[in-house]
Amino acid sequence: MEFLPGDIAACHGADWTSQAIRWGTASICSPAGLQVGPSHVALLCKWRQEMVWAESTTLCVRACLIRREKVAGAQAHLPCERITDYIEQGGRVEIYRLTQFHRLSPDESRLLTKLVLDEFIEPGLHYDLGGAVLSGTRVFQLTRLFPGSNLEELFCSELVAAVVMRLNRMNHANPSRYNPARLLRELVRTGKYQRIATFKQGATDAA
């Protein structure tokens, strides 16, 4: 399929860590298909005339396309390679796309690339493990004691939320409050994104 700038890849890993994240952030009161959400999210943007998969993770064994080395934090890869990584391990990847009314303009697409590359990947921002753990809390993340986001370290959904907020496709708030499931539920409920495809072993299903 053809990817577009602003697409979000919702990754459902099959390993124990991914399953703990998915079920630990499950919620009955969720949009269809998101009662048990993803364990990881990535954002797609255009770089040198091709689409790349931008993410913040410590679990990818591939070298970052831009930094040319294996990193633990913000990085970029080819979408087909990362989708294959999940499928080969027994997981699946769902693609969420901005609804027609909220699609990015050419200028916004260029801004998306600039934000992801200049602010996150090229500076070599590290992964924020502590923030990722706190984002999964149900009560603490609603209190005033929850730490603010400084965007000097990022976990996966914090990166995506920060960029989507900067592009004004999401109300501005603390991006570190959003775990992968909470982020997608918010974007789907507000009509900004919809699921368009699922990649899994043996098949690719269109929504």
Q: Convert the pLDDT of each residue in 27-86 to its tens digit.
A: 999 999 999 999 999 999 999 989 999 999 999 999 999 999 999 999 999 999 999 999
50 part of a folded domain: yes
Is the pLDDT at 145 greater than 80? The verdict is no
Is the pLDDT at 143 greater than 90? The verdict is no
Domain containing residue 93: CATH number = 3.90.1720.10
| Integer Cα distance of 133 and 70 in angstroms | 23
Cα of 155 vs its chain's centroid, Å: 9
- Say what the pLDDT of residue 133 is: 84
66 part of a folded domain: yes
Tokens of 143: 């209190």
Band of residue 135 on the pLDDT scale cut at 50, 70, 90: confident
For residue 67, give the nearest of 79, 54, 80 by alpha carbon. 54
| Integer Cα distance of 65 and 78 in angstroms | 8
Band of residue 139 on the pLDDT scale cut at 50, 70, 90: low
Cα of 37 vs its chain's centroid, Å: 12
- Say what the pLDDT of residue 78 is: 98
20 part of a folded domain: yes
| Integer Cα distance of 184 and 19 in angstroms | 17
Is the pLDDT at 141 greater than 80? The verdict is no
| Integer Cα distance of 77 and 94 in angstroms | 17
Is the pLDDT at 97 greater than 70? The verdict is yes
Average pLDDT over residues 106-121: 96
Torsion of CA 192, 104, 206, 178, to 10 degrees: -40
- R_g of the chain computed on alpha carbons: 16
- Say what the pLDDT of residue 151 is: 85
Band of residue 207 on the pLDDT scale cut at 50, 70, 90: low
Mean pLDDT of the chain: 93
1 part of a folded domain: no
Is the pLDDT at 106 greater than 70? The verdict is yes
| Integer Cα distance of 199 and 187 in angstroms | 20
| Integer Cα distance of 34 and 190 in angstroms | 14
How many domains are there within the chain? 1
- Say what the pLDDT of residue 64 is: 97
32 part of a folded domain: yes
**Domain range enclosing 153:** 8-206
2 part of a folded domain: no
3 part of a folded domain: no
